[in-house]
Amino acid sequence: MVELNFNKGDYVRLRLALEEIDGQVLESPESDIVLLKLKSGYNIGIKKENILGARVLRKYNEEKAKFLKREERKELPSIGLIITGGTIASKASQATGGVKPITDVDEFLNYYPELLKIVNIKKLEIPFMVFSENMTSEHWIKIAECAEKMLNDDNIKGIIITHGTDTLGYSAAALSFFLRNLNKPVVLTYAQRSIDRASSDASLNLQCAARMAISDCAEVVLVGHANVNDNFCYAIRGTRARKLHSSRRDAFKSVNEKPIAKVWKDKIEFISQYKRSDENRKVELDLAYSDKVALLKFYPGQDSSILDYYALKYKGLVIEGFGLGQINESWIPKLKKHIKNGLVICMTSQTIFGEVNPYVYSSAREIERAGVIYLGNMLAETAFVKLGWVLGHYGWKMRVREKMLENFAGEISERIEFERESELY
């Protein structure tokens, strides 16, 4: 094996049997592998035994790197960055073989030098560092509070929020409702594979998120891989984003509507209508939220007595019914009883795509007549968050149905525009 005389951060040229590869040396999670960041932002791992020669093209200049990290680059537009944890802010752990959080901001930014070539990070907040499965509505509120301060700063064009994927859809929905009168882009992004791994999706997602954050789109959006290649991302409306794969890079799909835009590292193509930014507008926080809501997936044979439990503990319940919003007819008496006593019950579909419609089958008509609110093509998770938000407003107590059916952030539409199947998957 040849001797490798380079250090972390150096820009090197490696000679392999069939090709030469240039890139920056990253810290590798495994001692027999050299991890290189290619110019495209893509990471690649190369077995040391396959390297026939190595030349340092540019030595890592710590001082210059610090400048890149910390100094304001006046020629670039400024954004705010909120880091909340998740794989995008993690690195491989040799001890467990899994990933562990990056706790140092400099280290985080060091992994993403491409970001600092697109935008200037004017403000940075780390309200907490958790994997998203551990988040609660209190975390959503903290993120919204950080976001509001940044969005009302005249020097900031937009913000990026990095977040774990597992509950990203819920947070995106919460921010869509909490940030009223939105004035600038709020862009959530993620990684399915940590940045120090070959084939990480983090770098492209973050660069495209930066591009979106300096656009004129005043919406809460999620930006992430559009497909399994590392070429472009989709910007998906926050109330429509659903994680539909546990590991693929293009884990998120836009449900029941087209994505807002296709986003590359250096350009955006808007493909749907969107709300324009206005720097004279001030965003307002509306953080009224009740945690007394639950989400229930209906299954064949489920006993209606479960409703007695929910009625004791909760003020609102979203049911994920079958197909068009069907549940077993035997539930009707209990539904009637608990709705009469004040429990709000909404219906969504566990099919994810499509809409609920109570006018096709007579049983569903009866369920609707019992007072269940059919939520059209709203995602179940978005409906759950929205119900907590609506019930958090004391003043809306008598108008819950009307508010659940009002369109606040693109969460419900009158007519579904079905995409060609090939575009959805």
Of the candidates 30, 424, 37, 33, the residue with the CA atom closest to the CA atom of residue 206: 37
Residue nearest to ligand ASP (CB): 164
Candidates 163-171, 202-210, 213-221, 406-414: pick the segment binding ligand ASP (CB under 6 A): 163-171
Furthest CA-CA distance within the chain: 78
**DSSP of 336-372:** HHHHHTT-EEEEEETTSSS---TTSSHHHHHHHHTT-
Of 190, 289, 314, 389, the one binding ligand ASP by CB under 6 A: 190
Among 108, 111, 112, 131, the residue binding ligand ASP under the rule CB under 6 A is 131
Residue 352 corresponds to which tokens in the numbers above? 């994810």
Indicate whether 101 belongs to the interface with ligand ASP (CB under 6 A): no
Asked if residues 187 and 223 have their Cβ atoms less than 8 Å apart, the reply is: yes
Amino acid at 45: G
The CA-based angle 114-10-200, given to 5 degrees, is 45
Q: Does 171 sit near ligand ASP (CB under 6 A)?
A: no
The answer to whether 69 is a known catalytic residue is no
User: Whole-number minimum distance, CB 50 to ligand ASP, in Å?
Assistant: 30
Active site residue 243: yes
Main-chain dihedrals φ then ψ at residue 84, nearest 5 degrees? -120, 0
Does 310 bind ligand ASP (CB under 6 A)? Our answer is no
Segment contacting ligand ASP by CB under 6 A, of 129-137, 172-180, 272-280, 359-367? 129-137
Segment contacting ligand ASP (CB under 6 A): 105-113, 128-136, 304-312, 391-399? 128-136
Is 166 a residue that touches ligand ASP (CB under 6 A)?
yes
224 lies in the binding site for ligand ASP (CB under 6 A): no
Applying CB under 6 A, the span of 109-117, 118-126, 130-138, 344-352 interacting with ligand ASP comes to 130-138
> Does residue 165 bind ligand ASP (CB under 6 A)?
yes
d(CA 192, CA 201): 7
Out of 164, 316, 325, 388, the only residue in the binding site for ligand ASP (CB under 6 A) is 164
To ligand ASP, the closest distance from the beta carbon of 194 in angstroms equals: 9
Burial 117-149 (b: 16+ CB within 10 A, else e): ebbbbbbebbbeebbbeebebebbbbbbebbbe
Given CA atoms 121, 160, 252, 270 in this order, what sign does their dihedral have? negative
Q: How many residues bind ligand ASP (CB under 6 A)?
A: 10
- Closest to ligand ASP by CB, 202 vs 375, is 202
Nearest residue to 254 via CA among 380, 353, 386 = 353
Q: How many Å apart are CA 151 and CA 138, to the nearest integer?
A: 20
166 annotated active-site: yes
Q: Which is nearer to ligand ASP, 195 or 283 (CB)?
A: 195
Q: Active-site residue 154, yes or no? A: no
- Smallest distance, ligand ASP to C-beta of residue 395, A: 34
Burial group, residue 14, by CB count within 10 angstroms (0-12, 13-18, 19+) = buried
Active-site choice (37, 84, 87, 91): 87
Question: Residue 322 has what DSSP assignment?
Answer: B
Considering the candidates 165, 167, 189, 348, report the single residue annotated as catalytic: 165
Report the site for ligand ASP in 67-96 (rule: CB under 6 A).
86-87
* Catalytic positions, written as ranges: 87, 165-166, 243
- The site for ligand ASP (CB under 6 A) is made up of 86-87, 131-133, 164-166, 190, 192
